[in-house]
Amino acid sequence: MHAFSHTGAEAPIEPLSASSWLHGWVFEPVSALGLFGVGVLYLYGVWRLQRRGTAWPAARTLSFALLGLGSGVVATQSPIAAYDTVLLSMHMLQHMILTMVMPVFLALGAPVTLALRTLPRKPRGWLLTVLHSRVARVVSFPAVAFVLFVTSPWTLYFTGWYDATLVSPYLHDAMHAHFVLVGCLFFWPLLGLDPVPGRLAYPFRLLVVFATLPFHAFLGVTIMSMTTPIAGDWYSSFDRTWGPTVMEDQNLAGALLWASGDIVGLMFFGVLFAQWVRQSSREAVREDRRLDRLEARARRAGAQR
């Protein structure tokens, strides 16, 4: 049994089972083509660098293409996407992947650095103009990115916007793009691999990430404590006879938001701390070498007297 979905195709309302994760994949053309195009451009840039004899870390390619774009494929083409309009919990899992997982791995792939190294002069100039523009500086300013990151979910779920995305395929695709974009604006400067505006010193990066944790927890708890369902008319219209009730599913969605936000945030906190330690070690090595050079220069000067 199926029901009409937001895309104009049939949305599954048969029970979500283990076999669904093998056979329940879908093709969402806008997301699929976008992910494919970005992947081709990135791999073409890597190929151009290698053709020139310039090394590019394999870890960056794997992070961007396999983990970053791969997580986007899972979020938008797997059963998560097939059931994202049937179960709020599936939508919330998709939300977390697109906002907090995919942007981190994309940033670790350093695509801006790759583009600056491989683009012809004129497109490279356009990219530099965008990076140095006032708009880029404003939207990537830590306070602005932080506000966008923590307020977007509240605006989505407690206004009519979420209901609108369930009935409009265009708004649904735009919501996915918004999730990724907001995640990139927040995480990209914090990782600091690419020359993007908005980068902070490591102590402030750790503070910003730590400050986001209560907001996701509070939103998750708020959703769990609600007595009326989010988009209740929509979810009730499927008349499911399997799985959790609409309110039970909403409680699960809130729990996913709370738990995944804290887990990913703490993992990212650990990544930043490790980066800070490595940078401090490199700076200590450079300082030791500088002092060694000064000491050797002083010895030579003393020997010549």
Q: How high is the pLDDT of residue 76?
A: 93
Residue 202 has pLDDT above 80, yes or no: no
| Single-letter residue type at 65 | A
The ranges assigned to domains in the chain are 2-304
70-129 residue pLDDT tens: 999 999 999 898 888 889 999 999 999 999 899 999 999 999 999 999 988 888 889 888
Token pair for 164: 């609108």
Extract the tokens encoding 252. Answer: 């699960």
d(CA 261, CA 97): 10
Model pLDDT for residues 113-138, shown as the tens digit of each residue: 999 999 888 888 898 888 888 888 88
Model's pTM, two decimal places? 0.81
> Residue 290 has which token pair?
């500088």
Q: pLDDT (tens digit, 9 = 90+) per residue, 144-175? A: 888 888 899 999 998 889 999 998 889 999 99
CA distance 64 to 229: 37
d(CA 27, CA 204): 41
Q: For 212-225, how does the pLDDT look when each residue is reduced to its tens digit (9 = 90+)?
A: 878 888 888 999 99
Q: Give the integer Cα–Cα distance in Å for 5 and 98.
A: 21
pLDDT of residue 222: 92
113 is written with which tokens? 């650095």
Is the distance from CB of 257 to CB of 96 less than 8 angstroms? yes
